[in-house]
Structure 1
Amino acid sequence: MTRIASYCIAASALFLLAPSAALAQEGEATPPPAPEGQAAAAAAPAAAPAQAAPAKAEPKEDLKDKPAPNSIYAEGLGAGLWYSINYERRVIDDLGVRVGFSYISIGATVSAGNSSSSASASLLTFPITASYLGVRSGKHALEVGGGVSVTYATAQASNSFGSSASGSGVGAYGSAMVGYRLHPVDGAGFNFRVGAMALIGPGFNVFGDDPTAFGVLPFGYISLGASF
């Protein structure tokens, strides 16, 4: 009896200790879960601070070296023969195109006794030229260019005997020039041009036997005006 009672007491002790040991092993194998906020913070890697890309500096146009785009000037001699009134527009910074006009009218009367004769003529000229100003320093520039001048001429003559005659015609001649130009580059200002020119076409053969033949006439030009 005593031995049976000892076996019963040992079995009861093992039965009571087995759940405690199992609970202890389970606690060691599975740690308690961390709070939800801390778990998210631990799982997410530290984000590197964002760096803004450096802004690219946009090139700014140097307005202090930009020629004034419009010019109005009066030219003596030059492509208009005696004078011309002109407007010029810079189509690009280094190239300008001008259009002008001039008007010349002449007349004469000759008398001999009871008879007289008179004649008159007029000439309209429309010079169209292009000027290159790529060689410059600030407002000082070398001007190189050329173009064509369109002409419209009329003439009439009469005498005291009642006879008369008249006529008109359209023509053209070329021109080439090289000279100095003062052209404002910072807004509006004074415009000045001076240089040498060659007129090319019929009637400019002053050094040959036939003055009406095709030739080249050395000429010049000077102009004053304003650019804006």
Structure 2
Amino acid sequence: MAKLSSYCIAAGALLLLAPSAALAQADQAAPPAPEGQPAAPAAAAPAAAAPAKAESKEEENTKDKPAPNSVFAEGLGAGLWYSINYERRVIDDLGVRVGISYISVGATVSTGSASSSASASLLTFPITGSYLGVRSGKHALEVGGGVSVTYASAAAWASASGPGIGAYGNVMVGYRLHPVDGAGFQFRVGAMALMGPGFNVFGDDPRSFGVLPFGYISFGAGF
């Protein structure tokens, strides 16, 4: 019985000391607030939903992002008859295009035993910029312009021949269907004006500087 009583007394003492020890540890973990100031609140747990919100906002911004690269074949336009082009978006609303076009023609005339021939070729490098800031999804208004560098050569039988380098400007406005959020089909159509020597088709001197109303249409892909 004496031993049982000793055990009961020891267990009671432990029960009395346990809350005091826990309070002492809590006092050591959280230092008391300065006198006259309220105690500092406990640190709040980090919000778990913030990263998810940031990720969803980023996905929403990239969902409507135009394809940065495109290749297309253009009829008429800055290459005169046609051109094969590559365009790169330097920013989302501005694309820079570089293209190439080659045209070669020849003719031969015979009169009895004599004949004469002539040939001409034209190499064109259109370089333009297109602003596409007015758009809704894949549909956009295209406004731009640039310059086309030309290299022409001509030859005729029994006469001199020689190459020549020139350039002419252009401005354009039209409609563009451009893929967003990945690769897809691209389509362009609009009106254009060519400006430079030799485009004065409505004046007295066709070799002088003039403006020629023109158009363009293209099919390609963005990626």
Shorter-chain TM range is 0.7 to 0.9
Q: What CA distance in whole angstroms lies between the structure 2 residues aligned with 1:48 and 1:123? A: 80
Q: After the TM superposition, which residues 30-41 of structure 1 pair with which residues of structure 2 at under 5 Å, given as runs?
A: 40=24
Residue aligning to 1:60: 58
Q: What CA distance in whole angstroms lies between the structure 1 residues aligned with 2:109 and 2:77? A: 32
Provide TM-score, normalisation by structure 2.
Answer: 0.79
Per-residue CA deviation, residues 185-220 of structure 1 (Å, 9 max, x unaligned), is: 120000000000000000000010000000000000
Residue aligning to 1:86: 85
Q: What CA distance in whole angstroms lies between the structure 1 residues aligned with 2:68 and 2:23? A: 71
Backbone CA RMSD of aligned residues = 2.1
1:197 aligns with 2:196: no
Q: What CA distance in whole angstroms lies between the structure 2 residues aligned with 1:47 and 1:154? A: 86
Residue aligning to 2:163: 168
Residue aligning to 2:173: 178
Q: After the TM superposition, which residues 99-178 of structure 1 pair with which residues of structure 2 at under 5 Å, given as runs?
A: 99-158=98-157, 163-178=158-173
Q: 1:187 to 1:39 in 2, by over 3 A?
A: closer
What 5-or-longer segments of structure 2 have no aligned partner?
A: 1-19, 33-38
Residue aligning to 1:50: 43
Aligned pair count reads 189
Q: Which amino acid aligns with 1:157?
A: A
Residue aligning to 1:212: 207
The Cα shift of 1:39 comes to: 9.2
Q: What CA distance in whole angstroms lies between the structure 2 residues aligned with 1:39 and 1:104? A: 94
Residue aligning to 2:16: none
* Secondary structure, counterpart of 1:134 in structure 2: coil
* Secondary structure, counterpart of 1:79 in structure 2: helix
Q: 1:166 to 1:138 in 2, by over 3 A?
A: same
Max radius of gyration: which structure?
1
Q: What CA distance in whole angstroms lies between the structure 2 residues aligned with 1:97 and 1:39? A: 72
**Amino-acid identity (%):** 78
The Cα shift of 1:47 comes to: 7.2
Q: 1:223 to 1:49 in 2, by over 3 A?
A: same
Q: Which amino acid aligns with 1:97?
A: V
* Secondary structure, counterpart of 2:179 in structure 1: coil
Q: Which amino acid aligns with 2:120?
A: A
Residue aligning to 2:219: 224
Q: What CA distance in whole angstroms lies between the structure 2 residues aligned with 1:147 and 1:153? A: 20
* Secondary structure, counterpart of 2:217 in structure 1: strand
Runs (4 or more) in structure 1 with deviation over 6 Å come to: none
1:71 aligns with 2:70: yes
* Secondary structure, counterpart of 1:52 in structure 2: coil
Q: 1:115 to 1:94 in 2, by over 3 A?
A: same
Per-residue CA deviation, residues 65-119 of structure 1 (Å, 9 max, x unaligned), is: 1000000000000000000000000110010000000000000111122222110
Per-residue CA deviation, residues 7-26 of structure 1 (Å, 9 max, x unaligned), is: xxxxxxxxxxxxxxxxxxxx
Larger displacement relative to structure 2 (41-50 or 65-74): 41-50
Per-residue CA deviation, residues 158-185 of structure 1 (Å, 9 max, x unaligned), is: 0xxxx23211010000010000000011
Q: Which amino acid aligns with 1:171?
A: G
* Secondary structure, counterpart of 2:45 in structure 1: coil
Provide TM-score, normalisation by structure 1.
Answer: 0.77
